[in-house]
Amino acid sequence: MKKFIITEEEKNNILKMYNVNLLNEDIFSSFIGALSKFARKAITQSEDDLIRAFRTSEVALSKNIDDIVNLSIKSGKIDDIQTLEAKLIHAFDPSGTNPQMAQEQTKKFLNSYAKSKGNTGWKDIRSKAQPSQSGSAAQSNTAGASTSAVRNMFSGNRISNRSFGADTEWSKYIEWDKILNAKNMDDYNKLIAKAIKTGDYSRISSKGFERFGIVNFRDFLKNNITKVNEVIPETGRWSVVFK
């Protein structure tokens, strides 16, 4: 049997890469477990209460966020920061029925964490992780926390025509003036269901879902479905799982 020989440097690089990936997974796993418990009471707390909690009763949770932030700053990549924002929004609104509330709570939560560390707000930490980003851009991302967050909220979740019904919060954020082939959700659901079934997405508008953090809805729908649970174009019923 031939031996596969690598240099000491190559071995160390492989181990380092493995440990970083393992650390990332462990960090987020422990963080989400703690957050799920804390999120329920965080909603009713003020920013001052949260700042105090991060310095006292929630020190362990704060350290988990420290690890994520430090890794992101060290790598110079915003990915872990965006994943953190997305997981927070999902923790505050697991069903995806009240994105505005989730975004506001996430903003309050992250600003409180940042201030507990001596920053003026979460925008300071975002700027450290992505130095090339302007202060105004960082502020905008912090305030909205929607571009990547809502997109990630869909990830791995079952979304259907009922997610955007008239009795849901999401129905308010669809910009109908940007949608060309339908003027209400019933008609649009029929087009969406037909597109999913036939694979022809030409009648799906690219615009109209920007408030959900989706820049091109046509491409998003076309390229991010991993499972079709139900699709009936005639009635506009559809249910899918997104990547």
pLDDT of residue 22: 37
Sheet with 158-160, strands from edge to edge, namely 158-160, 237-242, 225-232
Rounded CA separation 94/98 (Å) = 9
3-class SS at 167? coil
pLDDT for the residue 151? 45
pLDDT score of 9: 58
Q: Which of 35, 152, 122, 168 is nearest to 160 (CA)?
A: 168
**Long-range contacts at 200-205 (CB < 8 A, ≥ 24 apart):** 205/178, 205/179, 205/180, 205/181
Backbone angles phi, psi at 46, to 5 degrees: -80, 170
183-225 tens-digit pLDDT = 899 999 999 999 999 999 999 999 988 877 777 889 889 999 9
Residue 232, H or E segment: strand 225-232
DSSP 8-state class, residue 162: G
Query: Which residue has tokens 């029929």?
Result: 190
In b/e form, how buried is each residue of 83-119, taking b as 16+ CB within 10 angstroms? bbbbbbbbbbbeebeebeebbbbbbbbbbbbbbbeee
> With a cut of 70, which residues of the chain have pLDDT below it?
1-32, 96, 131-155
- Is there a contact between 99 and 169 (Cβ–Cβ < 8 Å)? yes
- Residue pLDDT, tens place only, 160-189: 999 888 878 778 878 899 999 998 999 999
> How does 38-54 read in b/e, with b if 16+ C-beta sit within 10 Å?
bbeebeebeeeebbebb
pLDDT for 192 equals 97
